[in-house]
Structure 1
Amino acid sequence: MDDLVDRTRAVRAGEELDHDALARFLHASIAGLSGPLVIEQFPSGHSNLTYLLRVGDRELVLRRPPFGSKVKTAHDMGREHRILGRLHAIYPKAPKPLAYTDDPSILGAPFYVMERIRGLILRRSVPPGLDLSPPRARALSEALIDGLAELHALDYAAAGLGDLGKPEGYVIRQVTGWTKRYHDSQTDEIPDVDGIAAWLADRMERVSQKSGAALIHNDWKFDNLVLDPGDPTRIVGVLDWEMSTIGDPLMDLGTALSYWVEPNDTDELKMFAFGPTYLPGSLSREALTARYGEKTGRDTADVLFYFCFALFKTAVVAQQIYYRYKQGLTKDERFGMMIVGVRLLAQQAVRAAAAGRIAP
């Protein structure tokens, strides 16, 4: 099943790392390394950059902020490294961190290195040879939402993560904070973004503090989950903890639902699918919500608010990426289409709010 393991490629132009400086750091920081360093890059990734490092027979993964990043708090490598250091002990699906530095003389920015969890990562299309027949697509849907419920059941205090975030007022801070981030990186007039921001602000006080607190990932989707190539319905790793915190667990549910495109969604939205979520047999957003409620015992009556907020938040993230592209801070041509995503996501949020449901 090695042909299903996530593949790397040559490093994109403009995102190269200083090979010799990195090699010296690795050999000085990680015991037992032997052999020359080979650097490759993982595909996808619109936020922090992720590289595969081969050193002899060892495979490591390096994460660093994007070149020309404007949003420092969204790319806190030290924070992500500390989270993994505590979390891995009680949640082995989180990668084991190996080294961190904030010395800019090495790569020009803070970065950390962790173990590689080998496996299958699903992105927009289904890899050739992978059986995702309707029964398996359903099982995969169930695994995704069950994995989220499992994460939310963790005793984060026992892992020493109680100081990771402030659950009191979390929803209100998120709505106001992401609204400010949008205005800080705004390039175009998009009335739907302003409209859904106002809709959320009108309702945030009512839903705040109703769902308790949990360790939340904040980016739960297929391309952040490592699956067992022999049994793709089994999650063996969870990646990209940069936005994790202690907060309202329904925020995590809303995020997962916002990435979940259904067969009856528009063709434009399907272009922005985060994984093969609309295959025959896959659960709907409403079915995922019901299953989450059954697994956790949490009240999901306000799921529309969380769904719309997540669409808004993802639109703002896309706006921030597009801002970097427009400012010439990145040469990645993928980012030139991000403004289309901003418009579509905001439009979907406005439509869902007007219809009063998360279904298409």
Structure 2
Amino acid sequence: MMTPDLPRAVRSGEELDLTALNEFLQTNASDVGQVLDVRQFAGGFSNLTYLLKTADREFVLRRPPFGANIKGGHDMGREFRVLSLLRGQYDKTPEPVVYCETSDPLGAPFYIMTRVNGVILRASMAPALNLTPERMRQLSEALIDNLVAIHGLNIMATGLIQLGKPEGYVQRQVEGWIKRYRAAETDKIPSMDKAGIWLQENYLIEQAPAFLHNDYKFDNVVLASDETTNEPLPVIKGVLDWEMSTVGDPLMDLGATLAYWSEAGDSPAYRNFNLTWLPGNLTRQEVVSRYTEKSGRDLSNILFYYVFGLYKNAVIAQQIYDRWKQGHSQDARFGHLLPMIIELAGKADSAIESGEL
């Protein structure tokens, strides 16, 4: 029997002031009711996510990690606005409830949304996951088909166009993530330098702009489940973690997904990113073929986007590792990220050398 994504006790140092939170809700979102219990979702390395329980309902609160200074990746107002724009246009998002733009009462801006119940497939579940290869294939196909649907949203009619400037998006992203890496660099990693130079020398003609999730993978998707066994079904109920979403070249989004898409032959460290290495899942090349078939887009230059996805993931991990090294986080997981950064950089370089995903 599958276990749904269960929250745990709040980690030490990441507690919420429940009295202050309830005072805020009474004034700004009285329909929520009084929060009686707070738990924390353990997954993820970015924004902190809490389960709020009232007498008869459940909500989710998102706030930046303590000590974070990476504004773009922790903009609670932006994420709340994205959810608000998607309401009525895309039915697989939680309902936004309220946004607090000041650091009162919880020490940082935050927002609250309704909880979408279901199953989230995290990499840590892989050893105990007993799904058939046929079901895993259905699940991975549903994941890619839903990404195509997100990229098919009309960015003008929905107002999503206001979230970004599509022109020059790829170059800005490459230059921006190289700059972020330099700002957070703690150790000399030659393969990171090599990948950054290659990306700067191989800019592409951009695809027609689309709405991008920018962190799309299994553990940001809520799946429907069988009522008896809790086994995940190939039906997506919700997509979470929209803090990096924007408007730009959709293949940048697909490249990010491919960068998380581990295969059976990958190293154990890389397989910790996703459970897509389990039997039945699409391979990275099959992901490209499926996306091409469903979207009709030209993916002949997908290598560039894949390499950028690996590089960006390495930079994100580097930023988190740097924050831990400076003492801004006590989360022990963050102190073990350096080997993963080196692994990602090496994988980017291998892809460049071989020309293969």
Q: When the two structures are superposed, what TM-score results if normalisation uses the length of structure 2?
A: 0.95
Which residue of structure 2 aligns with residue 217 of structure 1?
A: 213
| Paired position in structure 1 for 2:273 | 273
- Could you tell me which residue of structure 2 aligns to residue 46 of structure 1? 45
Mean Cα deviation higher: 11-20 or 33-42? 33-42
1:126 CA displacement: 3.5
Q: CA deviation at 1:282?
A: 1.1
Residue aligning to 2:237: 236
The answer for the alignment partner of 1:320 in structure 2 is: 319
Question: How do 1:102-117 and structure 2 match up within 5 A?
Answer: 102-117=101-116
Residue of structure 2 equivalent to 1:159: 158
Residues 44, 316 of structure 1: alpha-carbon distance in 2 compared, 3 angstrom cutoff: same
- Counting only pairs closer than 5 Å after superposition, residues 44-83 of structure 1 correspond to structure 2 as 44-83=43-82
Q: Cα distance 1:87–1:344, how it changes in 2: closer, same or farther (>3 A)?
A: same
Given the superposition, is the C-alpha separation of residues 19 and 35 from structure 1 closer, same or farther in structure 2, using an over 3 Å criterion? Answer: closer
Is the 8 Å Cα contact of residues 212 and 246 (structure 2) preserved in structure 1?
yes
Quote the Cα distance in structure 1 between the aligned partners of 2:127 and 2:281: 19
Instruction: Say whether the 8 Å CA contact 2:67–2:323 is kept in structure 1.
Output: yes
The one-letter amino acid paired with 1:215 is F
Any stretches of 5+ residues in structure 1 without a counterpart?
none
Q: Distance in 1 between matches of 2:190 and 2:143?
A: 33
How far 1:106 sits from its partner (Å)?
Answer: 0.1
Instruction: Give the 3-state SS of the residue equivalent to 1:20 in structure 2.
Output: helix
Structure 1 residues 262 and 324: CA distance shift in structure 2, 3 A: same
C-alpha distance after superposition, 1:98-142 (max 9, x if no partner): 001122120011000001001100101447986520100111110
Once the 2 structures are TM-superposed, how far is the Cα of residue 201 of structure 1 from its aligned partner?
0.4
Superposed counterparts of 1:1-360, under 5 Å: 4-126=3-125, 131-204=130-203, 207-209=204-206, 211-230=207-226, 231-270=232-271, 272-274=272-274, 276-358=275-357
- For residues 216 and 35 of structure 1, the distance between their equivalents in structure 2, rounded to whole angstroms, comes to 35
**1:146 to 1:314, Cα distance in 2 relative to 1, 3 A:** same
How far apart are the structure 1 equivalents of 2:349 and 2:153?
34
Q: Following the alignment from structure 1 to structure 2, what is the Cα–Cα distance between the partners of residues 350 and 52?
A: 40
Q: For 1:4-26, what per-residue CA distance to the aligned partner results, in whole angstroms no more than 9, with x for missing partners?
A: 32100000111111110011112
Amino acid at match of 1:259: Y
Contact persistence 2:136–2:281 (CA under 8 A): yes
CA contact (8 A) 1:308 1:349 kept: yes
State how many pairs are aligned: 352
Letter in 2 for 1:60: F
Deviations along 1:235-287, one digit per CA (max 9) or x if unpaired, are 110000000000100011111111011011123322x322x201111110000
* Counterpart Cα distance in 1 of 2:66 and 2:136: 37
1: CA distance, partners of 2:348 / 2:43: 24
Match of 2:229 in 1: none
Once structures 1 and 2 are overlaid, which stretch shifts more, 122-131 or 320-329?
122-131
How big is the shift at 1:36?
4.6
Report the residue type matching 1:208 in the other structure. Answer: I
* Divergent runs of 4+, >4 A: 127-131
Shift of 1:30: 2.2
Q: Is 1:154–1:215's contact at 8 Å kept on the other side of the alignment?
A: yes
Question: Do the aligned residues in 2 keep the contact of 1:94 with 1:239 (CA within 8 Å)?
Answer: yes
Change (3 A) 1:248 1:40: same
Retained in 2: the 8 A contact 1:89–1:159?
no
Q: Secondary structure at the match of 1:32?
A: helix
Q: Provide the rounded CA distance (Å) in 1 between the counterparts of 2:124 and 2:142.
A: 18
Distance in 2 of aligned mates of 1:330 and 1:128: 29
CA distance in 2, matches of 1:337, 1:99: 35
TM-score (norm 1): 0.95
Shift of 1:34: 3.7
The DSSP-based 3-state class of the residue aligned with 1:104 is coil
RMSD: 1.5
Offset from partner CA, 1:296-330 (integer Å, 9 cap, x none): 00000111100000000000000000010000000
Q: Matched residue of 1:162: which SS?
A: helix
- Checking the alignment, whether the CA contact within 8 Å between 1:23 and 1:37 is kept in structure 2 is no
